[in-house]
Chain A
């Protein structure tokens, strides 16, 4: 029986260095569709959020087109993220060690990874990013449909739309902040980005940051 957080396609290849398969081609394509959608949504959404960013509508071909395609990109993101959710939810289930990891956030940020409990496929921070974005995307799609007036204007009252647009903006800000954490962590922890580009990390990377997962993969857990 495999551990809860070992996913399909995860595998270790001995060598110099040891390489570890972390994401399948499908997972990576799924991730990058989500990533591109999220960036486009952030740019188009922000352009309508603050006047100083209205110029960003130029990237999409003007205000009218930005207004028209933003919700459609949102639909793409929703279904794309749904794919990620189905792939990753199990490995992101919260366990007792995650609380310990989180309590030692200071050690995380000061690179004292040796003082942390051994981490499975995802650490507590990654799990929070996962669940945070999952929840926020549900909020975004519901509030977004509420203000998608081209098709759904008649289904909500103006007062509901006012609430929806405020929630949509607030949730979007939260999503962008979480996205910054996600991207920053991938940059800060060197060797991470390869997981989503080539699908592989080195054995040392897995040893240092996700030792429990590596041990599970090797079968020594």
Chain B
């Protein structure tokens, strides 16, 4: 504890109270869940960008824990490796070079990208497959792959452009916040692996408090705009950043400034669903009512006679 101001203790893995499951769901895609009997403590991962050294231990740990392998790619002239998030690579160090106009210093901003675990998850709202995306009362948003149909609607719902669809099994993948580890009282693999403790994990309240201390420290060292990234547009996130320039999140490899679920998605998954089905039902109902009121439109014997007369006297 002397070296680092925040160290995650190894929790008791035998503590059954830590476990969570189906009964703790607060949201389930394209379906509803009963009000859970208990409310888990809200958890969060805090990523202190100012402490990140870009070693990618978090990426390696993520691949290891999730038993994923990222194909060896090619160098694109930047440190980002792979170039983008993939169905295997749930987290990615994004390296940005920024010249601070006030100091003329080149600042190397390294942001660990990945699922933000939104309190208001756009992916879950967009998902058409019942139970393919779930949210637990501790805030973790998880993909349930056996229910996933690979439609990519989550990609459209996500304000952070995080989910990736596998070309191998046509299912969506993203960071799980190590829900399987958290369920047995362990922190996420990335947090355990981070050598500078730039990544910490705990209750959301603890993490906010920890962030406050960090922000105070950064302020004292001249970063007057240091702050916490916990965007209210998605009702807060369960992965938060400490940014030295919290007033300009976009300089961190295009971190969304004021992210929110796209209004197009809100319409598509809101009004359109009901108006659409109502319109179809209305047309069908008008048909039924019209038929009941007017009865069928039939050809009369007179019509047939007229046709006969016309055809008979025709030149053919």
Contacts and interface: CB of A to CB of B under 8 A. Distances in A.
Interface of A: 12, 14, 16-18, 47-51, 54, 57, 62-64, 66-68, 109-111, 113, 147, 149-150, 153, 158-159, 161-163, 165-166, 169-170, 172-173, 176-177, 180-181, 184, 187-191, 202-208, 214-215, 218-220
Nearest to B127: A51
B155 A161 contact: yes
A65 B305 CA distance: 54
B308 A18 contact: yes
A49 B151 CA distance: 12
A108 to B, nearest CB: 9
B148 to A, nearest CB: 8
B166 to A, nearest CB: 11
B276 A170 contact: yes
Contact of A204 (B155, B158, B303): B303
A138 B26 CA distance: 41
A203 B280 contact: no
A100 B284 CA distance: 26
Pick the 8 closest A-B CB pairs, nearest first.
Answer: A203-B307, A63-B149, A204-B304, A204-B303, A51-B30, A184-B287, A218-B314, A149-B152
Contacts of B152: 147, 149, 153, 161
Interface string B108-145: 00000000000000000000111000000000000000
B31 to A, nearest CB: 6
B315 A219 contact: yes
The residue in A62, A158, A203 that gathers the most chain B C-beta atoms within 10 A of its C-beta is A203
A77 to B, nearest CB: 18
Interface in B257-316: 262, 264-265, 267-268, 272-273, 275-277, 279-280, 283-284, 287, 290-291, 294, 296-301, 303-308, 310-312, 314-316
Contact of A219 (B30, B264, B316): B316
B303 A205 contact: yes
Contacts of B276: 49-50, 169-170, 172-173
Contacts, number: 177
Interface residues of B, number: 54
Given A49-B276, A158-B161, 17 more contacts: A16-B308, A18-B304, A18-B310, A54-B129, A63-B151, A109-B290, A111-B297, A149-B165, A162-B262, A166-B272, A181-B287, A190-B299, A202-B307, A204-B301, A204-B306, A215-B310, A218-B315
A212 to B, nearest CB: 12
A173 B280 contact: yes
20 contacts: A17-B308, A48-B153, A49-B277, A54-B130, A62-B149, A63-B128, A63-B129, A66-B149, A161-B155, A162-B268, A166-B272, A170-B272, A173-B275, A191-B298, A202-B299, A204-B299, A204-B300, A214-B310, A218-B314, A219-B314
B156 interface: yes
Interface in B8-52: 30-31
Nearest to A208: B303
Contacts of A184: 287, 290-291
Interface string B213-224: 000000000000
A180 B307 contact: no
Contacts of B54: none
B130 A205 contact: no
